[in-house]
Amino acid sequence: MATKDVNLPDIGEGVTEGELVQWLVAVGDSVEADQPIAEVMTDKATVEVPSPYAGTVKELKAEEGDVIPIETVMLVLNESGAGAAASAPAPAAEPEPVAAPAPQPQTNGGSHAPQPAAATPASAGASAEMYPPVADSTVLATPGTRRLAREMSVDINQLQGSGLAGRVTRDDVLSAKGGAGAVSAGSPSVQMPAPSYQGQPGDMEERVSMRGIRKKIAENMQMAKRVVPHFTLMEEVNVTSLVKMRTEAKAMGERKGVKVTYLPFVMKALIATLREFPMFNASIDDEASEIVYKKFFNIGFAADTPNGLLVPVIKNADQKTILQLSAEIVDLATRAREGKLQLDEMRGATMTITNIGSVGGVYATPIINHPEVAILGMYKMEDKPVMINGKFRAQKMMNYTITCDHRLIDGAVAANFMKAFASRIESPSALMLDMI
């Protein structure tokens, strides 16, 4: 019977591999062309991979949790129709290849280049308490440097040596520990110690595999916290005028069928302020030791979804009207909750806004979405008594935070940024002055 290999297709620009979250078919299932066969998680999105052919599933080539390089065989189909008929007189020698010739062991580590085997004797289970892992035999570093890395808990296998032929120097290790250099700009995954948790026996606890979006969030947050020295500045801003303006805009939007929220106004105020403070719309290329100033404004906004935090991105937000932004926010947020975002809709943000004010909380200290260098937080809006011209007046007040990468942005700069931003929020008519 003719078989067809189904490869993991190219699922997004720059994506080289994906983690198999879940098989949607089993051996023996018949599959139609374009029927989803598996959920694969890449970067931040989980996508359903369709089968290009129709047929019956002969063999699954990967297990849930495996990382599969793109263009690698995921499963094998017995072709339906013509293929089966062609080999009609096949004797019943092979009934159903149940656990027939064992499929070769799966590539668990993803698309790594062939590596020479480590020269060390086989280990009896690498223990969790041993970190960093043993230097691979291909790592070029002196014994003294290898020991330094170990004592500083730097995994020397992850370093890009700056010396001749990629030799890892003492300075490479020291700067890796300092944060810079430990992670090359392109690689978001950082190897961390994996302490085990000794739990209670019985059914007092339930164990669920950490995979998919949750695992990716964990990796990204860990990396950002490790690489970026965070600090947060907090401010209370009078939004009475903004509320008035938005109330009017909301009514106008409704006539056009668009729900206008506060977020587009905040975005506009933010972008105007970013133009004034370009270092907030930047990234640090640790590998090159360079600051990258971006001349475009892609604003991400944190969206809470049943699967966890996602950050859809509004591309070129500076070139869009309040109405356009409103419509796009609603669309992206809806699809984020449904798990239907495309990968490139969550990439390329130059700065991010997190808005948990609708739920509650006075202030928070968000984590920067690396490689961005700042994140703006907006919180609950409340009526508060404010002293104006010697009298208390009820005013709409709202808290904002700006969290910065202190490698690039100093405290005073952040305070000035917040001041400039707050003045735009307090006098939204000033936004007109910035309008393009």
Partner 1 sequence: MSEVYDVCVIGSGPGGYVAAIRSAQLGMKTAIIEREWLGGVCLNVGCIPSKAMITAGHFLHKMQHDGKSMGFTVGKIDFDMKQLKTWKQSVCDKMSGGVSQLLKGNKVDIIMGVADFKNSGEITVQTKEGPKAVKAKNFIVATGSRPIDIPGFQADETDVLSSTGALDLEEVPKNLVVIGGGYIGLEISSYMKNLGAEVVVLEASDALLKGMADPECVQVVARKLKKNGVTVHLNAFAKSWKKSGKSLEVTAEVKGKMETFKADKVLLTVGRKPNSDEMNFKAAGVKVDSKGFIEVNPQRKTSAPGIYAIGDIAGQPMLAHKASHEGVMVAEVIACQNRVYDAKTVPAVIFVDPEIASAGMTEEECKAAGYTDLKVGKFPFGANGRAVSMMHTDGFVKMIADANNNVLLGVHIVGPEASNLISEAALAIEMGATLEDLALTIHPHPTLGETMMEAAEATLGHAIHIIQKPLAKGGKSGASARA
| Catalytic machinery residues | 406
143 versus 202: smaller Cβ distance to partner 1: 143
- With contact defined as beta carbons under 8 Å apart, do 255 and 323 qualify? no
> Measured from the CB of residue 120, what is the shortest distance to partner 1 in angstroms?
5
Whether the Cβ atoms of residue 387 and residue 239 lie closer than 8 Å to each other: no
The CB-of-190 to partner 1 minimum distance in angstroms stands at 19
Cβ(422)–Cβ(400) under 8 Å? yes
Which lies closer to partner 1 via its Cβ, residue 95 or residue 116?
116
Number of residues that bind partner 1 (CB under 8 A): 30
- The stretch near partner 1 (CB under 8 A) out of 32-40, 131-139, 189-197, 284-292 is 131-139
Interaction of residue 143 with partner 1, rule CB under 8 A: yes
Between 126 and 415, CB nearer to partner 1 = 126
Q: How far is the CB of 218 from partner 1 (least distance, A)?
A: 25
Query: Is 114 near partner 1 (CB under 8 A)?
Result: yes
Among 24, 134, 192, 245, binds partner 1 (CB under 8 A): 134
Bridge partner list, 262: none
Residue 316 engages partner 1 in binding (rule: CB under 8 A): no
CA distance 365 to 376: 10
Binding residue for partner 1, selected from 93, 99, 124, 387, defined by CB under 8 A: 124
Nearer to partner 1 by Cβ, of 153 and 289: the residue is 153
Shortest reach from residue 170's CB to partner 1, in Å: 12
Q: Is 183 in the site for partner 1 (CB under 8 A)?
A: no
How far is Cα of residue 11 from the mean position of the Cα atoms in its chain? 16
The interface with partner 1 within residues 147-176 (CB under 8 A) comprises 147, 150-151, 153, 164-167
As a dihedral over the C-alpha atoms of residue 151, residue 157, residue 161, residue 165, rounded to 10 degrees, the angle is 130
Q: Is residue 195 a contact residue for partner 1 (CB under 8 A)? A: no
CB of 135 to partner 1, least distance (A): 5
| Shortest CB 322 distance to partner 1, Å | 56
Interface residue with partner 1 among 3, 30, 111, 120 (CB under 8 A) is 120
Contact pick of 91, 101, 125, 257 for partner 1 (by CB under 8 A):
125
- Residue number with CB closer to partner 1 (82 or 124): 124
Q: Is 116 in the site for partner 1 (CB under 8 A)?
A: yes
Residues near partner 1 (CB under 8 A) are 114-117, 119-127, 130, 134-135, 137, 140-143, 146-147, 150-151, 153, 164-167
